[in-house]
Structure 1
Amino acid sequence: MSIKTVTPQEAANAMAAGATLVDIRDADEHARENIKGAVHVPLARLGDLPSVTGPIIFHCKSGMRTQANASALAAAARGTACQILEGGLDGWRAAGLPTIMDRRQPIEVMRQVQLAAGGLVLLGVLLGFLVAPAFFGLSAFVGAGLMMAGATGWCGMAKLLRLMPWNRRALRA
């Protein structure tokens, strides 16, 4: 099912007229940056969407998650008129509309995974060339883990990073 998209300006006008903006991103993403007045209901917990009066506008980071899950979003709206914010939070920001940024919160866990995996691969290659070829195994191990994460949707590195002390504050929010 496809849900109509609205521009960021149309969404801002609709919010001023009583529409509810729903942020479907994960807790760590929402804690770092969000749109004032948006209700946070992660995609995995759409069943917890509160009853609202007026239309619902769903948003994610770029609009891809909302488009990919349009049927689930429409079902969660339980007959209430719903729309998708075109371009998500990125589109909102690009339109010059304000967001609330909390730089004390850690960056999103998936960006942390990208940084850690990239750093480990680079380290493995450098040590493989400079110290001993056996260190190339580190790069192979990380690459295999990324392949498994892509194939199964389960990422051990993300699970581990979520347990780190700097991420605990964001996950409680």
Structure 2
Amino acid sequence: MTTPASLAIHETRDRLHELIVIDVRTPGEYAGGHLPGSLNIPLDRIQRALADIRLAADRGDVLIVCASGARSENACRILAENNITAATLSGGTSAWTADGHDLHRPEGAPATWGMERQVRLTAGTVVLLGLLLGLLVHPAFQILSAGIAAGLVFSALTNTCGMAAMLAKLPRNRPDAADLDNTLAALRRR
């Protein structure tokens, strides 16, 4: 399968006012900071939004954004399978901020952790727990640590993350149905 088209940071900055920007990170990540004017449609909800994204794509260029570019590439592939053309932001919001651009943070938004930080905390906790239980209780507990290590290697090789997919299902990382409906309504108005 081909890699989706990507826009460089400077191209995105210059065209931001004319792009339809969809952020596919979790609602918690989105609330922690997003590109100005972007709408949040989490990757696991993209199928539900296909009709509205198709209508938006008929009116303008669609840019899909995530933290690093991996989830936005997956979203672009899903859209392409449904005959919707979209590009991804090269390097995601991490590259955007590294280039000196600000992310929009709504007033009163709760402090949140990005998905990568959540994955690092969870993986580190399970590895440490496996090692400690392996030393203090029974060596078989070290299988936990080995399982996480294998999962991280697989994640790097396939550019997917099963742990992130599981963490995205936690209530803090899931959109309220009303929030998604409001987002889709806003997308229809663009």
With structure 2 as the length reference, what TM-score do the two structures score?
A: 0.64
| 1:88 CA displacement | 1.1
Q: Verify the 8 A CA contact 1:113 1:161 in the aligned structure 2.
A: no
| 1:159 CA displacement | 5.3
> Which is higher, the Rg of structure 1 or of structure 2?
1
Matched positions, count: 163
Q: How does 1:25-40 map onto structure 2 within 5 Å?
A: 25-40=25-40
Q: How does 1:46-125 map onto structure 2 within 5 Å?
A: 46-47=46-47, 48-49=49-50, 50=52, 51-52=55-56, 53-75=59-81, 78=84, 82-101=86-105, 104-109=110-115, 111-125=117-131
Q: Verify the 8 A CA contact 2:20 2:38 in the aligned structure 1.
A: yes
With structure 1 as the length reference, what TM-score do the two structures score?
A: 0.69
Which deviates the most, 83-92 or 154-163?
A: 154-163
State the match for 2:158 in structure 1. Answer: none
Q: Verify the 8 A CA contact 2:24 2:75 in the aligned structure 1.
A: no
| 1:20 CA displacement | 0.8
Q: Verify the 8 A CA contact 1:25 1:43 in the aligned structure 2.
A: yes
CA RMSD of aligned residues (A): 3.7
Percent identity over the alignment? 23
What is the SS of the residue equivalent to 1:25? Answer: coil
Which deviates the most, 84-93 or 116-125?
A: 116-125
State the match for 1:5 in structure 2. Answer: 6
Change over 3 Å in CA distance of 1:34–1:156 after alignment to 2: closer
| 1:133 CA displacement | 5.1
In the alignment, structure 1 segments of 5+ residues that lack a partner are none
Inter-partner Cα distance in structure 1 for 2:121 and 2:143:
16
Inter-partner Cα distance in structure 1 for 2:13 and 2:98:
13
| 1:155 CA displacement | 4.7
2:142 aligned with 1:139, yes or no?
yes
Inter-partner Cα distance in structure 2 for 1:161 and 1:46:
14
Task: Give deviations 1:48-102, integer Å, cap 9, x for gaps.
Answer: 1432221111112112333345432334573x5x322111111211221110347
State the match for 2:170 in structure 1. Answer: 162
Inter-partner Cα distance in structure 2 for 1:125 and 1:71:
39
